Amino acid sequence: MSTLQLAILAGAAVGLGAALIIWRLAPAQPHLATALDRLAPERGSRDFEVVDHGGSLQDRLGIWVQRTLPMVSLGRTPVRELAMLRIPVHRYYGEKALFFLVGLVFPPLITVLLALFGMTPPIVLPLGASLALGAGLSFLPDYNARADAKDARVEFSHALAAYVDLVALERLSGSGTTQAMEIAAEVGDSWVFQRLREELARARWSGTPPWDSLTQLSVELGLPELGELADIMRLSGEEGATVYTTLRARSASLRNALLSNELSKANADGERMTLPVSSLSLVFLLLVAVPAVLSIVFDAS
């Protein structure tokens, strides 16, 4: 290692240490929601329970990140996506930390392997690659959570259309508003119907109207369709309105929206296939034309 590389490494270490000290000692206005969440006794007891009862490395690391680092510096947390997937926030942060550590370790390992073959790159190169790769890999959990939550919302919408039809049939048969919602939720066995059953049971035991519980769930998960169903059932429960026709119309609207989305995806997939098919056709034409052209050239010569 040359003197210049040692000087650069020493300067980087001193600068990083000074930046960390200033970052820890500089007064900053805390995020109110984060501070209150850290002081909540329920959250603290759950975190200690995870640590004390042999939680996984990912859970322990995520809890440490939540307690140590300010949430604002970690970027926007996909709260709705995690709630949809039922992934605890500390597990999400643990996954981000693990990916970051993998990104930090991988370039030095490559550097060691290169050193075994006699190639020693500058120390700045693996250092910068470690930070860049760690930062890049730490965003993979965000991408995975948003992609999985998008698929889960589509599945929820499909199941919700069937649930709305079931509620309408129960109302037509003479069941009450709350009874119709609970009986319809007992029909299906998918995770969507299970989630609806849990919310309705929680509303029943807490003494709150079921439509209020579904409204809160729609806000938590980012599902406006569920909020619209809750508004319709609120009219039926509080004002005694006849909602059979409205529910059937809402179910048909959901299915039409889902069908339009599927058609849009199919059209997009068809457009993406245009270029490969065109390229394959061009290659086929070249395979047919090149031998004939070569034979003509050789005959002429």
pLDDT in tens, 223-235: 999 999 999 998 8
In this predicted structure, which of 28-32, 126-130, 145-149 has the lowest mean pLDDT?
Answer: 28-32
Look over the chain and give the mean of its residue pLDDT values, rounded to a whole number: 81
pLDDT at position 191 over 80: yes
Top pLDDT among 67 and 72 is at 67
> What's the CA gap between 60 and 256, in Å, rounded?
45
- pLDDT (0 to 100) of residue 53: 47
- pLDDT (0 to 100) of residue 54: 52
pLDDT at position 163 over 80: yes
